[in-house]
Amino acid sequence: MKKRKRYSPLITLGLLALLMLACNFPFVASPTPFVFPTPDLTMTALFNPTLTSAPVIFPTQTSPPAWSSPTSTPQGLEPSSTPSNTPLPPTATATNTVTPTRSYAGPGMRPKFGMVGYYFNAAPRIDGSLEDWTLDRYLIEQVVYGKDNHSGAADLSGRAMVGWDDKNLYLGIRVLDDKYVQNARGSNLFKGDSLDILLDTDVSSDFYFAELNKDDYQIGISPGSPSANENMEAYLWFPSASSGKLTQVAIAARARGDGYIVEAAIPWSVFNITPRSGQHFGFAYSISDNDNANQNIQQSMVSFVPIRILTDPTTWGDLTLVKP
């Protein structure tokens, strides 16, 4: 019988030790646990539609809502030209998107059709006489409305002057008008012989903005109704939030055989500004005419500014205040 070979206990222990060391050899890699990757925005969008990302929207520059026009619109504007008071819908803005600041800023004066208002060291007497006015005279003769109803300088034209001091803006004008008709009052005074003043008190901030806003003013002055120097009045149409009669405006008028004379002193407080020498304003000086004694209607208008449009201040001229 063949004898079985027996290993010594020392050899057996050695073999067990070698097996235990083999588990830590560098060439024997430990198993790597499975890790689920973190989803990015694309995966989230694909697997969870409720978390889709909104597209980036660059807001376009839009104009703010225009100020409403008076019920009776001066200057014979067509209804389609009347500014709307409907607010604009809100502009969509994407999350984390910086909205650019809207600005209409530009130069501080409009370069064409300028008038100069000279400082009065002694205020003129508002008495219907221009004898104490020694200022430059500007011809008011450009037809801006009702050309078919205008037959020439004798029908409607004028020579105007502008002055100022710390309290008032002064207007003096000699009007040629072969037939004086003014039977309208209040907001309708433009439907008779009258003056029209446009003043933009902050040209630079909205230089390119072709709509009326709260710093644009329109004032009408009636020389009298039914005759010059009777029931004279001034009316503010714009800004429409402040519209109404301007009882603080001093007016004097005088009839002449070929027209009339008007003087007016408008307090600077009407425009909410403090005047200073060198200041510029958007400005237009105009005259309305009605030759129909049986109907209140604006038949024509002449202006110092030939491109004047009431609702577009970019078409107005410039007024510069000068103190020698």
Render pLDDT for 257-270 as a digit per residue (tens, 0 to 9). 999 999 999 999 99
Q: What pLDDT, on the 0 to 100 scale, is given for residue 68?
A: 34
pLDDT grade for 320, boundaries at 50, 70 and 90:
very high
Report residue 188: phi and psi, to 5°.
-100, 10
Quote the Cα angle for 185-77-296, to 5°.
30
| Mean pLDDT rounded to a whole number for the chain | 77
Q: What is the pLDDT of residue 83?
A: 34
222-243 mean pLDDT: 96
User: What amino acid occupies position 212?
Assistant: L
Q: Which residue has the higher pLDDT, 62 or 251?
A: 251
Reported confidence tier of residue 207, pLDDT bands at 50, 70, 90? confident
So what's the pLDDT on residue 112? 82
Closest CA to 133 of 169, 172, 164: 172
More confident residue, 2 or 68: 2
Check residue 40 and give its pLDDT: 34
| Residue among 283, 201, 222, 173 nearest 74 (CA) | 222
- Report the percent of the chain where pLDDT is more than 70: 67
Q: What is the pLDDT of residues 79-115, one digit of tens each?
A: 233 333 333 333 333 333 333 344 566 676 777 889 9
Q: Which domains does the chain have, with CATH numbers?
A: 113-322 (2.60.40.1190)
**146 and 298 Cβ atoms separated by less than 8 Å:** yes
Which one, of 195, 190, 221, lies nearest residue 296 by Cα?
190
Q: Which two tokens stand for residue 123?
A: 């205020």
Is residue 161 within 8 Å of residue 264, measured between CB atoms? no
87-101, 292-306, 309-323, range with the lowest pLDDT: 87-101
Among candidate residues 216, 235, 217, the one with its CA nearest the CA of residue 225? 235
Query: From CA 237, how far away is CA 243, in angstroms rounded?
Result: 5
- Give the 3-state secondary structure of the chain: CCCCCCCCHHHHHHHHHHHHHHCCCCCCCCCCCCCCCCCCHHHHHHHCHHHCCCCCCCCCCCCCCCCCCCCCCHHHCCHHHCCCCCCCCCCCCCCCCCCCCCCECCCCCCCCCEEEEEECCCCCCCCCCCCCCCCCCEEECEEEECHHHCCCCCCCEEEEEEEECCCEEEEEEEEECCCCCCCCCHHHHHHCCEEEEEEECCCCCECCCCCCCCCEEEEEEECCCCCCCCCCEEEEEECHHHCEECCCCEEEEEEECCEEEEEEEEEHHHHCCCCCCCCEEEEEEEEEECCCCCCCCCCEEEECCCCCCCCCHHHCEEEEEECC
Separation CA 160–CA 172 (nearest Å): 6
Q: What percent of the chain has pLDDT over 90?
A: 62
Structure confidence at residue 111 (pLDDT): 73
Whether the pLDDT of residue 11 is over 60: the answer is no
Identify which of 164, 264, 255 has the alpha carbon closest to the alpha carbon of residue 220: 264
pLDDT value of position 238 = 96
Residue 149 confidence (pLDDT): 96
User: Are residues 156 and 142 in contact, defined by beta-carbon separation less than 8 angstroms?
Assistant: no
**Tens digit of pLDDT for each residue in 44-77?**
233 333 333 333 333 333 333 333 333 344 554 4
Length reported for the chain: 324
Instruction: Please give the C-alpha separations between residue 240 and each of 27, 149, 181, 199, in angstroms, as whole numbers.
Output: 89, 29, 27, 14
Long-range contacts of 35-42 (CB under 8 A, 24+ apart): none
Chain mean position to CA 106: 12
Q: What is the pLDDT of residue 80?
A: 31
- pTM beyond 0.85: the answer is no
Please give the average per-residue pLDDT across 290-309, as a whole number: 96
pLDDT > 60? residue 235? yes
Q: What is the pLDDT of residues 131-189, one digit of tens each?
A: 999 888 999 999 999 999 999 999 999 999 999 999 999 999 999 999 999 999 999 99
Q: Residue 228 in contact with residue 295, Cβ under 8 Å? A: no
